[in-house]
Amino acid sequence: MDPVLKKLQYKGQQEVFVLNAPPSFGPQLQAFSEQAKVFMQLDQDHAIEYFVAFLTRKAEIDQLVPQIAPLLKGDAVCWMCYPKGTSKKYPCDFNRDTGWGIMKAHGLLGVSQVAIDEDWSALRFRKREFIKALTRKFDTH
């Protein structure tokens, strides 16, 4: 399995939603497409079990979350990817610790963080009711 998909806890879900993927994520899109149907845009009538979005502006988070939150099925895997502070390619107006208040307002809490590549990090969010105990060392606002 692709090492990034392993980090992103892909476990063979049949449908995968990936929004705004940068060119560097191409190999992972290919790996996803070999195992699942890949959607590159939201369908308001389609439940989501596995979701990855690449975002560079807080306004994108604020617009996207109200659309996806009601579509997340059960303990869906939901990754929000954002540029690292050291990225020279992608400016960003939020970071790991700030800009995520709307997630919490929709009952989604940050539970883990992984590095995707030299430019991108990802935060996994889960529905509050599926979290037994929070052990993370950061908080998302």
What is this structure's pTM? 0.92
Structurally, how many domains does the chain consist of?
A: 1
Position 14 in a domain:
yes
Position 118 in a domain:
yes
The tens-digit pLDDT sequence of the chain (141 residues) is: 899 999 999 999 999 999 999 999 999 999 999 999 999 999 888 999 999 999 999 999 999 999 999 999 999 999 999 999 999 999 999 989 999 999 999 999 999 999 999 999 999 999 999 998 766 555 565
Position 139 in a domain:
no
User: Which CATH number belongs to the domain containing residue 65 in this structure?
Assistant: 3.40.50.150
Position 141 in a domain:
no
Task: Tell me the residue range of the domain where 70 lies.
Answer: 3-130
The C-alpha atoms of residue 37 and residue 86 are separated, in whole angstroms, by 33
